[in-house]
Amino acid sequence: MIDKGQEKAHELHYGAQPFRLVGRYEPLWLVVVAGFGEQLILLLTNLKLRARDSESVWWAARIYWTRWKLACPVKGA
């Protein structure tokens, strides 16, 4: 992450858990990312993930993170 023109390292922790919504039958995953601040980042996705495969979970988190950066640019950046 870049903060005030300086690259800043974050120690991230992440994981995923299968998730079901009442009345919905498609398989969903709840991805949780900690380390970007005090609040957890929660992502509900229908991407096919393998919970025990950290590459799969991190891949999904990066895809959505990139999408959010494009959709919601930070002021002054």
Predicted confidence at residue 33, as pLDDT, reads 86
Q: Model-level pTM?
A: 0.67
pLDDT at 23: 92
Can you give the pLDDT of all 77 residues of the chain as single tens digits? Answer: 566 777 777 787 888 889 999 998 898 988 888 887 788 888 888 888 876 677 778 888 888 777 776 666 655 54
- Per-residue confidence (pLDDT) for residue 75, from 0 to 100: 54
- Note the pLDDT of residue 2: 60
Domain boundaries along the sequence of the chain: 9-68
Burial of 14 (0-12, 13-18, 19+ CB in 10 A): middle
Residues 43, 29: Cα–Cα separation, whole Å: 8
| Residue 29, number of CB atoms within 10 A of its CB | 20
61 token code pair: 């988190």
